[in-house]
Amino acid sequence: MEHGLLWLPLLAAFFWLAWQGSQEYQKIEAYRTWAEQFDKAKYDIYAVLGQKGNSITWGKPTPKGPIKLETFSLEHVQQIRLLVDDKTVDMQQLPEKGRTIEVEFVFPQSANSVRVPFTEIPLAAEWGKYLQSQLHQ
């Protein structure tokens, strides 16, 4: 009896991990369907991002599909910056780690900017470089 009670927390942890895996799989499948409409798209646990022509759409991934979607045009963007821990970083000389990683889109006519979160610095830098190249075209 005692041995059975010792295994009960392990069994609960197993079911919790299986449920988490199922949720993540559903997020990825919902993203895959959503991303078909874009020329280029990215997924990570913090945000989804899609580009079609000059339009950028981003939001938060969920098992039912992306939510809180925002769309803006690259034509209205003045500058694209890579932020690591809220500090602008040179995309050619990347830091090895950081707590918060974001690509920031700065607009000339307003004080607001759009910050898209990323999980990895190299991925954010590649997207930043790519979108800067699209900005100058």
Residue type, position 135, single letter: L
80 within 8 A of 135, measured Cβ to Cβ? yes
Strand partners, 118: 101
72-121: pLDDT as tens digits: 988 888 889 999 998 888 888 888 888 999 999 988 876 788 999 999 99
Q: Give the integer Cα–Cα distance in Å for 11 and 23.
A: 19
pTM: 0.81
81 within 8 A of 128, measured Cβ to Cβ? yes
17-72: pLDDT as tens digits: 999 999 999 999 999 999 999 999 999 889 999 999 889 999 999 988 899 999 99
Q: Give the integer Cα–Cα distance in Å for 75 and 28.
A: 30
